[in-house]
Amino acid sequence: MTDNKQHQIITSWEEDLFNALKQAEVKQLPYVPDAGHSKVINMAHRDPDIRPVVLTTEEEGVALCCGAWLGGEKSVLLMQSSGVGNCINMLSLISNCNFPFVTIITMRGEFGEFNSWQVPMSSATQGSLELMGLNVQRVDEGDDVGSTVAAALYSAYSSDQRIAILLSQKLIGSKKW
């Protein structure tokens, strides 16, 4: 008896995210480490076609992304919501020169946060990015991660758009200590 049922391969949102980066031919992945991004960062370190670049501060990553695009390579900046505050001024470069830009931000300070110190910057993350001219897209469901990242990369690199994707803390899971 033949089984005609289609076998659906279940992938994690991290795999979907990484596949979206690969399909869009992202070559540089600057990041400040975050637990929420750790699987994607590990995948990047194992992939010979993507160059992960550890940053000392998030604003360095904005500059690296612009430099990469001057040389014709696509990049994505990975950081945590607290890091957004560290790159506000540098986002001027993106709006002034109309650089394409995609950043994927893991959220702290919201769902089930144990550390109140994470809350103020978290609450200001979306507003700060929007004030600096970025289009902010928030993702709460794992199933939406891959398509949102793919769409953002397409929009950014086909028409010089600036997009920040916020991966909610509910999606990532709150940190337990």
Partner 1 sequence: MIRSEILKELKPLLSDQLVVCNIGLPSQELHMIDDQPTNFYMLGTMGLASSIGLGLALSQKEKVIAIDGDGSVLTNLGTLPTIANNVADNFILLIIDNGSYGSTGDQPTYAGKKTSLTDVAKACGCENVVECRAENTLDVMKKALEGNQMTIIVCKCESGNVKVPVITMDPVVIRDRFMKEVISKNT
SS3 139: strand
Binding residues vs partner 1 (CB under 8 A) = 27-28, 30, 51, 53-57, 59-60, 62-73, 75, 89-90, 92-93, 96-99
CB of 2 to partner 1, least distance (A): 50
CB of 140 to partner 1, least distance (A): 32
- Shorter beta-carbon distance to partner 1: residue 55 or 145: 55
DSSP string, 71-88: TT-EE-EEEEHHHHTTST
Answer whether 167's CB lies under 8 Å from 139's CB. Answer: yes
- Shorter beta-carbon distance to partner 1: residue 87 or 164: 87
116: which 2 tokens?
Answer: 């109140």
- Shorter beta-carbon distance to partner 1: residue 94 or 166: 94
Q: How far apart are CA 132 and CA 148, in angstroms?
A: 21
CB of 71 to partner 1, least distance (A): 3
Give the rounded distance of the alpha carbon of 88 from its chain centre: 16
CB of 70 to partner 1, least distance (A): 5
Residue 153 burial (CB count, 10 A): 23
CB of 156 to partner 1, least distance (A): 15
- Shorter beta-carbon distance to partner 1: residue 60 or 144: 60
Spell out a b/e string for 1-13, using b for 16 or more CB atoms within 10 Å of the CB, else e.
eeeeeeeeeeeeb
- Shorter beta-carbon distance to partner 1: residue 73 or 110: 73
Report the candidate in 15, 10, 12, 17 with the shortest Cα–Cα distance to residue 145: 17
